[in-house]
Structure 1
Amino acid sequence: MRNRWLNCLFVVVVMMALTPREIFAAEEPSFTVKPATAETIAQLRLGGFVLYMRHGLTDTSKPDRVPTVDLNDCSTQRPLTEAGRQLATRVGAAIRKGGIPVGEVLASPMCRTRETAEAAFGKGYQLNNNLMYTSNLTAAEKVPRIENTRRLLSAPVPAGSNRVIVAHAPNLMDVIGYFPTPEAVVVVFKPLGAKGFEYVASIPPDQWAELVK
């Protein structure tokens, strides 16, 4: 009886030491990341997919100035670094080298995503305000952003083309419970229309060299 009581006391102490977030995380099933293969690249060459690219490397010592972030003033936002810009350029070059066709390119209105989109794919990208960084938003404010991301991942893409989304890790976490790392990773989805979408694979920036030789 004494041992049972001590065991119960130990469990209570441990639970009290954990934060609510840690307890919730322990209950959540982990997301299984799928590595891309040569077959993934072969499929992308045919088109019909969505490429969700996280922005390039940023300077974390200069966080977004919440709640006074100004979308027209990059000095109020966490900035893309020069290394991040160069990394985005390399990812874009690898996509072109791999013969992967790119159609519409949609970017979050944050400076770091706009600059990533331009470095990787040129100036022809379109801003999508509902791809706005969600980490600093309330649950109610996130709703239209989550719905927008789901729609962009689900909407069919014509064969011979791929849709590109340049946005943020928390946004994808809100939708599928996956926080994509590292920065500049490309997450591949197969849109299924009314049935939603299917996660295919993730391509970290350093894997492109082996995939598109």
Structure 2
Amino acid sequence: MRRTVPAALALALAIVLVAAPVRAADPFPLERLADGGYALMLRHALAPGTGDPAAFELRDCSTQRTLNDVGRAQARALGEALRAAGIAEASVYSSQWCRCLETAELLGLGPVQELPALNSFFGRNRDDRPKRLEALRRFLAEQPTDGPPIILVTHQVTVTAITGDFVRSGEGRALALDGTGAPPVAGTTAAP
């Protein structure tokens, strides 16, 4: 009986540690992005509401939750903060949702490339979660560990799935690219 109790405790502790969300590191100095080997994973700027309307269509922004004026200002301010930190351009990837694409464009850091792996899997898209995360982890593993800055504009559910941390609109997590699909969080960025 004594051997079962420690084994059961060890199992319970392991489950808690695996299930516990990873807490993000300290604030990440944006200047460090220029050192190379980092991806900044951002939640899109403020788009009031939750999820998308029932009539949502990927290529029709009028059917989606979109940025409001505060969100647009937030995205521009983040782009300005990145430029002030010495990031004049970056490889910018975005979810195909309009609020993400607009956030990415308003950053003003270079051409925006759509990356379906960054698409949401909230609500009716829940079944897409495994394939999206697998594709995103593969993408992260393929990025150079010393390459130029990468900006990934996505959704709260995606950031949380990769980092274990909840982010608000316009917030981000810097990932230290390490050749794996699970790069460690190097720090946090606050929304402007």
Which TM-score applies when normalising by structure 1?
A: 0.73
Question: 2:24·2:163 contact (CA, 8 Å) conserved in 1?
Answer: no
Shift of 1:186: 2.1
Question: Which residue is equivalent to 1:46?
Answer: 35
1:120 paired to 2:111: no
Question: Which residue is equivalent to 2:53?
Answer: 65
Q: Distance in 1 between matches of 2:140 and 2:129?
A: 16
Shift of 1:48: 1.6
Change (3 A) 1:164 1:97: same
Shift of 1:114: 0.6
Q: Give deviations 1:90-133, integer Å, cap 9, x for gaps.
A: 10111011013543111001010011011112661011122111
* Matched AA of 1:204: A
Whose Rg is larger?
A: 1
Shift of 1:136: 1.9
Secondary structure, aligned partner of 2:41: strand
Q: Give deviations 1:35-59, integer Å, cap 9, x for gaps.
A: 225xx44432212210111100112
Change (3 A) 1:134 1:183: same
Shift of 1:172: 2.0
Change (3 A) 1:113 1:42: closer
Shift of 1:139: 5.2
Question: 2:140·2:180 contact (CA, 8 Å) conserved in 1?
Answer: no
Change (3 A) 1:94 1:138: closer
Aligned length: 177
Secondary structure, aligned partner of 2:123: coil
Question: Which residue is equivalent to 1:31?
Answer: 22
Q: Distance in 2 between matches of 1:101 and 1:157?
A: 19
Secondary structure, aligned partner of 1:161: coil
Q: Which has the higher contact order (CA 8 A, sep 6+)?
A: 2
1:200 paired to 2:189: no
Question: 1:55·1:184 contact (CA, 8 Å) conserved in 2?
Answer: yes
Question: 2:145·2:178 contact (CA, 8 Å) conserved in 1?
Answer: no
Change (3 A) 1:123 1:195: closer
More helix by share: 1
Question: Which residue is equivalent to 2:3?
Answer: none
Query: Where in structure 2 are there 5+ consecutive unaligned residues?
Result: 1-15
Alignment of 1:1-213 (within 5 A): 28-37=19-28, 40-60=29-49, 63-66=51-54, 68-100=55-87, 102-121=89-108, 124-137=111-124, 140-157=127-144, 159=146, 161-180=148-167, 182-194=168-180, 196-206=182-192
Which TM-score applies when normalising by structure 2?
A: 0.80
